[in-house]
Structure 1
Amino acid sequence: MPELLRMKGRVLSSLPQPSSDAAEVHLVQALELSRRRGATAWELRIAIDLAELFAGRRRRKAAKLLLQSALGGFVEGSDTADIRAATELLGML
C-alpha cells in the first residue's frame, strides 16, 4: 500500500497541470503507513519523492529534515541506489 500511494502521488505531481496538494497528501499517507509498518526502505523512497516535492515548493528545510530522518534508519556505510539518491538530494538542498 505505501508504494501504491507513492506512485499515485508521483502521477499527480507529474501531470501537465500538476496537483501538488493532492500529491503531497498521498505521499504523506504513504510515509506514515511505511513508518507504522517499520518499512524503512519504503520510508526512504517515499521521503525522496516528498522531499523533491517540498523543494519544488520552496520548503527546503522541511525537505532536509525529512531526508535526514529517513536516512537515520540505516546503518552507516549502507549503500543502495535509494540511499545514494537521498544523500545526493540532501547535498543539493
Structure 2
Amino acid sequence: MAYPDGSRGLKVADEYGYPMYRVIGPLWATAALAARGPAPDVLEQLCGLLDKLPPENQCIQMPLYRILLATEFGRIGQIERARSFAASAATLMKQTGERWAAPEIYRIHGTLLSREPLRDDRAAIRMFKRSLVSARQLGAVGWELRTAISIARLVSAGGSASGRTEAQDLLISTRAKFASAETSRDLREADDLVRVLN
C-alpha cells in the first residue's frame, strides 16, 4: 500500500528500525489517506493494520485509531460499521484507562447514533453529554466546543424550542471561553449556529 502523504516518515521508520511506525503512521493519517481514496479500499487496508498492533493492553492509542476509522466509515455512509468501531473505541478506553480522547470518542459516537439507519437522537444526546463532561474534566475547550456544535446541529434539524434555546446557550457560553477575535472553522460554525438557533 502506498502512502503518498507519509512516505518520508515511513522511510525514516525503516532506516532507523522502527517497524511499528509503518503501522501507526498510516493509522494516524486515516482521514488524509481516505480523502485521497478510493476510501473504501483504503479503509479496509487500514483496518488490516489493526491486526498488526500489539494486544490492546500493550499498545497506546488503540481507542484513537478506532474512532478515526469510525469517522471515515461514517463519512462514506457505512454507518453500522462506523458505529461498531465507535463502540469498540469506547470499550477499549474503559479497559485500558486511556481517556485523553474520550470527548471526541463520545462525540463521534453520538454523531453516528443521530444518523440513519436506526437513528436514535436520545442516545446521541446521552453521548454528547458524556463528551461535555469529559471535555470539561480534561479542560479540553476545543473538544467542548465541537460537542456543543454537534448538539446544536442535532436540535437545529427539528429540536424543541427549549432544546434549541439550551443548545444556543451552550454554544454562547462555550464560545465565550475563546478570545472574541480568535477564529477557526469550529468557531465560525459555532457563531453561525448561534444565529440559526436564534
Pick the TM interval, shorter chain.
Answer: over 0.9
2:159 corresponds to which of 42, 57, 81: 57
Aligned-pair CA distance for 1:16: 2.1
Cα RMSD for the two superposed structures: 1.0
For the 8 Å contact 1:2–1:30, the answer to whether it is kept is: yes
Aligned-pair CA distance for 1:57: 1.7
Aligned-pair CA distance for 1:50: 1.0
Aligned-pair CA distance for 1:52: 1.9
2:153, 2:136 → 1: CA distance? 19
Aligned-pair CA distance for 1:69: 1.1
Alignment match, 1:92: 196
Alignment match, 1:5: 106
1:23, 1:12 → 2: CA distance? 5
SS at structure 2 position matched to 1:79: coil
1:36, 1:69 → 2: CA distance? 16
Q: Does 1:69 align with 2:173?
A: yes
1:72, 1:46 → 2: CA distance? 15
1:78, 1:71 → 2: CA distance? 10
For the 8 Å contact 1:28–1:50, the answer to whether it is kept is: no
Alignment match, 1:17: 118
Q: Which runs of 5+ in 2 are unaligned?
A: 1-101
Using structure 2 for the length normalisation, give the TM-score.
Answer: 0.46
Aligned-pair CA distance for 1:86: 0.4
Structure 1 segments (4+ residues) deviating >6 Å: none
Aligned-pair CA distance for 1:36: 1.2
Aligned-pair CA distance for 1:27: 0.5
Structure with the higher helix share, 1 or 2: 1
1:78, 1:28 → 2: CA distance? 26
SS at structure 1 position matched to 2:114: helix
Aligned-pair CA distance for 1:29: 0.3
For the 8 Å contact 1:44–1:70, the answer to whether it is kept is: yes
1:41-72 deviations in whole A, cap 9, x for unaligned?
00000100012223332221111111011101
1:49, 1:5 → 2: CA distance? 11
1:69, 1:36 → 2: CA distance? 16
RCO higher in structure (CA 8 A, sep ≥6): 1
Q: Does 1:83 align with 2:187?
A: yes
